Structure 1
Amino acid sequence: MFSRDRWQEIFETIRKNKLRTFLSGFTVALGILIFTVLFGMGNGLKNTFYEFFLDDATNILFVYPGRTTMPYKGFKQGRQIQFKNDDLEDIKKDFAFYLDYITPRLGRSGLAKYKVESNSYNIRAVAPSHQLNEKTIIMKGRYINENDILNKSKNIVIGRLVEIDLFGKEEDALGKYIDIDNIAYKVIGVFQDDGGDNEERRIYMPYTTRQLIEKGTDKIDMMVVAFRKELGYAGAMAFERDLYKYMKDKHNIAPDDQNGMYIQNMADILQQNMAFANVLQLVVLFVGIGTLIAGVIGISNIMVFVVKERTKELGVRKALGATPGSVIGLVLQESIFITTIAGFIGLFLGIGTLSLIGNKLKDYFITNPEVGLGTVIFATVLLIFFGVIAGYVPARRAARIKPIVALRDE
């Protein structure tokens, strides 16, 4: 392997057959390039899933009321289920083992005004723990607290873009009053959110304040229920089943009625989507490996032609005492050398291509496509392995050439 004479001979052969060497290397480089880019795209798809789901907490159950589709316990079908404040307290009491926190959510829209500026915004009435669910980042001031809930305070937290819309970039919104549907609210905080512009154009207020405005009702639209992370996926699924049955019993919904209420389990959705992404990446991986194998088959075919072309030369070598092992070693070494160099070129080109792509394909659900160190090592080992396979068959044929037959070859 480290014979100086052998390396000189390999380089001399490459120098005399530039086109053949280029074509051999090109097929391998193209194969590893496609493999790297495809694998990186698969990682980019997984990154998109992570980014989409991890903007909010994933240990969450969203509990929505629905409309019944069958009669039950004397209640007619078509009954609209309505959650109330006592549902929050009952869940806190009966599911203390599972529970991390719980918050109601009431969604409304309203026209917000400040001086001459006005705009319509999505308004969410929530409890303090809602900040944990949305991973809301307070830029200045504070979030809604328990005192706001108890006192039904007319305090609000506004998004970064709401502040820019109504106050401009120079004026500070903190401590100012905004008119929303003819009611004055004090801005106690300004937040930002990695979820994008839509999230940063929201306004949050205490849910009890919203209920007070709506004629002192205790109704809530839905509940955000967070379970303890240490429960894991299996615990999350068990919690979902128990909570689903509990709420159905509480609101007199038939066990088989699938529309009376809904639970959206973020842990389950994340698990399913990541499983889909992994399967898709495996498909991409097989396609990439198939492309790589096609390139190696190309170099194997070229090496067969090389052996045929050098039949006389190899016959002379054997006549002068060259062993079959040395002939195999010569052909194999040349094949592995070309495969490895071309493969690394393709690998670096692939990494460079992914780097140039960056987040330009984010609209197509590809975020920061990249390949890790483990993948690079795997590709390198795979490349050398295929290089051995590509060279072995023609090398073995070369080793079997009889000197007398080789010398007669035309």
Structure 2
Amino acid sequence: MKAPAKARGILAVRADAGGEVRALITGVNAAFEEFKASQAEKDKQLSKRFDDIVTTEKIAKVDASIAALTTALDEANTKIAGMALNGVGDDADPRSEQEREYSAKFDAWFRTGDDEREVKALAKAGGIKAAYSVGSESDGGFTAPVEWDRQITDKRIVVSPMRNYATVQSVSGQGFKHLYNIRGTAAAWVGETDARAQTDGSKLAEYEFAFGEIYANPAASERILEDSEINIAAWLGGEVNAEFARQEGLAFISGDGVNKPKGLLRYDAATETALPAAQRHPLGPVTEVISGAAAALTADGLIDLIYDLPEDRSQGGALYANRKTHSVIRKMKDADGNYLWQPPFQAGQPAQVLGQPIRELAGMPDVAAGAIPIVFGNMAEGYRIFDRVGMSVMRDPYTNKPYILFYTRKRVGGGLWNPEWLRYHRVAAAGG
């Protein structure tokens, strides 16, 4: 019995994706073998005190090729995971009848500005919350339909790496606070008939995560919107995605927590100590492991970094660094002359360093004295991103005629969830 046409098409897409991944893995492995051979040739030349410029340039080109292939492989794996996550191949429309009707009315309002009352009525009747400015219902903003919000979020997952690795949680309140158990329960040994004095109990501490409002304000002419051929959801998603991705990428790594998420690298001991006690993370700063050299990475430093995490906190751990740092690590060897970096050997797996996955995270610092170019650990347990439920869109036909502005906003928060699952790798000499 033949599969339905749609299912056959999806199977073909998945088969093509699998073939693409296999081809990329083959390419990465072949390029890495060429890289090792070229590096070996350069080592021979250096031992003769003659640096072959041609060989050096060849190594640089092959290294760049490995980086590009590895990035493409990561993107392909992300797309395959996304297809599985979103249930590609399911013919059933998961939306309710109210959601489908709301989506149709929203599209009409988006194009013409008409049916504003109907959109409000449907939002209330269908349980879809209309998202206005805080404390006001006069600005005419509406929550984007479910599939619009999902489409934009999916695109942001691809282009904002932290959304791939951290835990993403939807919240509906003004912010998010979490209670941490900082332990403290005491116990004592007693005899059979000895008195049992009261012992200390565990203490709880509250921590409030930093939130900010991220927005984009794309414009479209009335004529474009009147064209029934345009895919409004795809257009809005593309316009909003570029701005959101840029802002989020910076905030999730280095944001100071003022009207924005607090970034991954803002929880070192010096930064936390400078804060008022009430604003510090209850579980303390992220522990640092030094590289062992004043301005460089070392093999011993990476080993120390990986083994500094306790066994019960190392599960799901990975190394996170930017592309330039990947290139530095790719050239490093252990005491026996073996490369620390090894290419992936099957679909769905990243490259490895010392047996641990290494992932690209744009926005991380380059290798330099005093910098933190690498973070190691389980990012899903260590860092959390909070999405305020519902993407709000406001239609403005007055400010810039004949263009229609679409002020699109969403509140986003983020911060360190649990420092026990992460380690910073700071470039510094021992005793420095």
Normalized per residue, which structure has more helix?
A: 1
Q: TM-score scaled by structure 1?
A: 0.21
Question: Which structure has the greater CA radius of gyration?
Answer: 1
Structure with greater contact order relative to length (CA < 8 Å, sep ≥ 6)? 1
